[in-house]
Amino acid sequence: MKRECLKIIGTAHVSQDSVDEVKDAIYEHQPDIVAIELDRGRYTRLKEEMMGIEHDDTISVTKIIKENKVALFFTSTLLSYFQSKIGADVDVAPGSEMIGAIEASEDLGIPIALIDRDVNVTLQRALNKMGFIEKAKFLFGLIGSVFGLGDEEDIDIEDLKNPENIDELMEMFKDEAPSVYEVLVHERDAYLAGSIMRIPQDHVIAVVGAGHKPGIEEYLDNPEKLPNLRELEVIDEKKGIPWLKIFLAMIPILFVVIFFLAYFSGINIAWNIYDFIIISMIMGFIGSILSGSKLISAIVGGLVAPLTIIHPLLAAGWFSGLCEAKFRKVRQRDIKNLANIESFRDLWENNIFRILLVVIGTNLGVSIATLVILPSKVFIPLFMKIFGL
């Protein structure tokens, strides 16, 4: 790739003007290759959509829960919602400018280079970098936006391509969620720039989101600053001591220790064990049923609650959620339909959120039992008996 022969087009991902700009540039300049901000998976999905190919679009929620990828799926679903929602508002499907680039390139017989990082790697790296407070802040911000909470302001999509507006938006994003900004923006700027630099052809047109254009140009002008791209593809485990996980793991261990101490101190713990089991089951059941689960899912959540409290690697919500997934088949169209959500009632009818709500609701019920009810009703009284207080 020759820097002087490279043309970078910064687009708004749901803009008809961007679609026209991309097509016009490709037809006018007829480059050696067109680089687009897509990974292999998203490119394949767009191509199948263009050809009208339909597959079984059932999403395996069971697999998502078993592989402990609920947070990843939830985040990607919310982000898909926002892009679909904006696209519906301006009557332009998300990714239309990429489809336009593909159509124009194929029409002229120009090869295509996929320059983006796998979206799952990007999201997982973002989640791994975020601390608990930042995750909570980011999550509540996303959910609040779904329900229209906070300041609402009419935005001209084309204004998002204005460099001054981009700088302002990027700074706001950086302040609100620095870890997310680092992965979704800064890292991808580097990855996109590195991918462009690897292209062997001389004359290149690169189609990227407008927010990435300044960062890409900075790396292209200063290639010595470019990090190793292989390192940006690695999903690292979070570094440091996971104090929150250690604390949560210590709670069931403490419960077991108190039971054993009471038993060896000659205290009759039979009724305490009954209270532990009954309270755990009731709270698991209540949490599940109040989140809108089927009766059998609530029963499953209640039955496994005592075991999951003792076992720190299990969560009652997984079991009630897996059971709920048997009744509610989730399909790709459920994600697309998120764009039409206008109220809580619309959200309630979406199977994705119904299942996730059951998982969260059951775990919340069991957490209340673990952190509030059981200590006050079972373990603190036992502790006081052990030491004669």
Q: pLDDT tens digits, residue range 257-288?
A: 888 888 888 888 899 999 999 999 999 999 99
Where does the pLDDT of residue 37 fall: very low under 50, low under 70, confident under 90, or very high at 90 and above?
very high
Percent of the chain with pLDDT over 90: 32
The string of DSSP letters for 339-354 reads GG--SHHHHHT-HHHH
Q: What confidence score (pLDDT) does residue 362 get? A: 95
- Most confident region among 82-86, 107-111, 176-180, 332-336 by mean pLDDT: 107-111
Where does the pLDDT of residue 357 fall: very low under 50, low under 70, confident under 90, or very high at 90 and above?
confident
Mean model confidence pLDDT for the chain? 79
Q: What confidence score (pLDDT) does residue 105 get? A: 95
Provide the b/e sequence for 155-171 (b: ≥16 CB within 10 Å): eebeebbeeebbeebbe
Q: What confidence score (pLDDT) does residue 46 get? A: 84
Which has more confidence, 216 or 57? 216
Q: What confidence score (pLDDT) does residue 57 get? A: 57
pLDDT tens profile 61-88: 667 766 666 666 666 665 555 455 544 4
- Most confident region among 102-106, 246-250, 254-258 by mean pLDDT: 102-106
| Token output for 363 | 């775990």
Q: What confidence score (pLDDT) does residue 283 get? A: 96
Which has more confidence, 342 or 125? 125
Least confident range from 199-213, 231-245, 313-327: namely: 231-245
Count CB atoms within 10 A of the CB of residue 215.
19
Q: What confidence score (pLDDT) does residue 217 get? A: 94
Strand ordering across the sheet containing 204-209 = 6-11, 204-209, 33-36, 112-114
